[in-house]
Structure 1
Amino acid sequence: MDSDLQLFADWAQGDQRAGERLFERHYEGVARFFRNKAGDHWPELCQRTFLTCVEVRDKFRAEGSFRSFLFGIAYRQLYRFFRERARDPESVDFQLRSVQDFDPSLSSVVAANQEERLLLAALRRIPLEYQVILELHYWEDMTAKACAEVLDVPLGTAKTRLRRGRQLLEAELAKDAPSEEVLTRTLSDLEGWARRLREQLDH
């Protein structure tokens, strides 16, 4: 199977089929990225992301992965989406504002069980900057280094955001958990619950 870099190189040389294969390979991941944050707007944001990728493909220098490059575009499209919805776009602080703050209905994901519902609700209530990095890490299996590439921040900053994001998530989970047992079960298997949510997002 051709690597992303090979497909990208072929696409840059005019091979449209290589570009189609590249987008097919990454479409589900980009859709997951938007579905828990932008609700029914996710198809539009996917389209924006891939169109922008076509427009700026000459800026990709293969210093990181194509996947990080693509998710970086998705990340900027997401922030643009929320700024467009804000009364004062310039004053929006994504380290303070959450999806819940913008619109509580912005999700097209329905969780199957109690732990997953708790996790989804908690993710939507933490500031978007931390929700993004946690979902990249747990849903897309990205390392701190890959997250740093997507967010265009130093590796140390990405690691700090991951730690802080987990702390904020745990605090939000504690608010809604109906019992200590459910809270402990959810916190002890965050990766497992995240993986099962990812499977639901794919369907």
Structure 2
Amino acid sequence: MTTDDGALLSAWRAGDRGAGKLLFERYYDSVVRFFRSKIDHGSDDLVQEVFAACVAGSDRLRSAASFRPYLFAIAHNVLRDHFRRRQRVGETVDIGEESTLQDLSPGVSTLHAEAEEQRLLLEALRRIPLNYQLILELRYWESMTTAEIAEVVGAPHPTARSRLRRAHELLEEALQRLGEAPARLASTQANLERWAQQLRERRDPSV
């Protein structure tokens, strides 16, 4: 069987459950990582919710090549719904545009990082609005293009590009506010993609 996303998706939509299973296995770890870095409990339920919604809405896919952004768009919506549910049951959760992960999930501890620069990056990400944190994670942890990011967040492509630029600015400001030594800040900023890739590997449930 051909194993590229497009062929698997076409086979799945034609009724081949095995093709759908292969697609889910391919992206399962990424979806798990997406949630475990943002909530303190219940991530497994949210992962199952994402894949159930993926199956239910597969006919809405515009093209076979759009599966990955389609999947992460669902994960994005499920995450926001999760915080809204917490708000409805009386938790003091603010899901506004400026909400950070520190506001939404203060119980999620920062992952221990082998390098100080990695720890600094993780802490800074928690201090910028979640909407911008997600964009940076999609860019650096999932290696998405700005066009794919636009699909995930439901914004026009030029808007996604401008949000990515703004996310970098906010991250740099957060790094500055942490008050670390200038040399360490410079190292983190200059090696953002490398540190992000190393953190991605450390958060991978399969590693």
Structure 1 length-normalised TM: 0.92
- For residues 107 and 63 of structure 1, the distance between their equivalents in structure 2, rounded to whole angstroms, comes to 37
Listed as ranges, the matches of 1:8-157 within 5 Å are: 8-62=9-63, 65-86=66-87, 92-107=94-109, 109-157=111-159
CA contact (8 A) 1:35 1:108 kept: no
- For residues 60 and 121 of structure 1, the distance between their equivalents in structure 2, rounded to whole angstroms, comes to 35
Task: Pick closer, same or farther for the CA change 1:23–1:35 going to 2, 3 Å.
Answer: same
- For residues 170 and 62 of structure 1, the distance between their equivalents in structure 2, rounded to whole angstroms, comes to 36
**Deviation string, structure 1 residues 1-44 (Cα, Å, up to 9, x no partner):** 42212111211222111110010011122122222112333222
Secondary structure of the 1:97 match is coil
- TM superposition shift of 1:97: 0.5
Which residue of 172, 183, 186 maps to 2:185? 183
Secondary structure of the 1:38 match is coil
- TM superposition shift of 1:108: 7.2
Unaligned runs of 5+ in 1: none
**Deviation string, structure 1 residues 119-177 (Cα, Å, up to 9, x no partner):** 11111111111001010001000111110011110011101111111111111111224
**AA aligned opposite 2:156:** P
- TM superposition shift of 1:63: 6.8
Q: How many pairs align? A: 202
- For residues 98 and 186 of structure 1, the distance between their equivalents in structure 2, rounded to whole angstroms, comes to 20
Equivalent position of 1:161 in the other structure: 163
Q: What percent identity do the matched residue pairs reach? A: 44
Structure 2 length-normalised TM: 0.90
- TM superposition shift of 1:94: 4.1
4+ residue runs over 6 A deviation: none
